[in-house]
Amino acid sequence: MFGAGAAVLASMKPSFRPAWDFLQNAANNKTLQGLDAAFAKALKPFEFDAFSCAQARAPIGEEVDARLLFGRSHDEWDAYYLKSGYLESDPCIPELFNGGKPYAWSDLQEREQSKIAWQIWDEAAQAGAHNGFVVPVPNDDDELYGVRLMSPEKKFDQEARSVLNGMSILYCVLGIKLLEKSVRAGRDGCPLSRREAECLAWVTEGKSDWDISEILSISQWTVHEHIERAKSKLGVKSRIQAAMLSSANGWLPVNPSR
């Protein structure tokens, strides 16, 4: 076994070796923060500097519903992306359910796309994300997870696709287990009020302050104050940071009240 591993390492491209280490050792991480750090290290040689895991549902006859869960992403871009309602227009989301194969943004850009799709990609590039690689991870018939990798480079090593796919699936599976563990262990230590947690849960689904105010039947100003207080309690600067940190710690309701 050791000889086979040594042979693989000897023939491996240098940029692939951190990925090999991740595949071998990722399960040893006990927290999402540790898993994120290990994944970031493995992705660095491939020039992907941001990543996130999302849950997506597509019941028959209904629009795709997606929710960010955890990861290390471009906070400013994600906040803008969610505020602009791009989660509902992003061609990458329905593509998750189209065959179950990993794909790059550049793959989709070779096809005819809507004006809003090109607007999303153009604005992402302005924010420093010139290309992305998305890996679907099946769950139920109408539900799956997706891992999104983002790169400041327009191109990446095409030989790395299978490696990125394997790493992303492992990151997702281990991350979901750690998230579920955090949900069980973190409820008692949650620093958020019920309303703050509800508001942040809707932030992960791309809802604006106005959207959340309509859902919860409270004023837009009250929603803003709940989110600002949550940011202050958690010591973060953006709403997306607050939402993803809270999600990672299991502090958000799975099905926020309407």
- Bridge partners (DSSP) of residue 19 are none
More confident position, 100 or 49: 49
15-29, 143-157, 173-187, 233-247: range with lowest mean pLDDT: 173-187
Residue range(s) occupied by CATH 3.30.450.80 in the chain:
2-184
Alpha helix (H) residue ranges in the chain: 2-11, 17-25, 32-43, 75-83, 92-95, 105-109, 115-126, 161-186, 194-203, 209-216, 220-234, 239-248
Fold of 187-248: Arc Repressor Mutant, subunit A (1.10.10)
Contact assessment for residue 256 and residue 202, using Cβ atoms and an 8 Å cutoff = yes
pLDDT tens per residue across span 33-86: 889 999 999 999 999 999 999 888 776 666 667 777 888 877 778 878 877 878
pTM, whole model, 2 decimals?
A: 0.77
Just give the CATH number of 2-184.
Answer: 3.30.450.80
pLDDT tens per residue across span 217-247: 999 999 999 999 998 888 777 788 788 878 7
Residue range(s) occupied by CATH 1.10.10.10 in the chain:
187-248
pLDDT tens per residue across span 101-119: 899 999 999 999 999 999 9
pLDDT at 86: 83
Please give the Cα distance from 147 to 167 (Å, whole number).
10
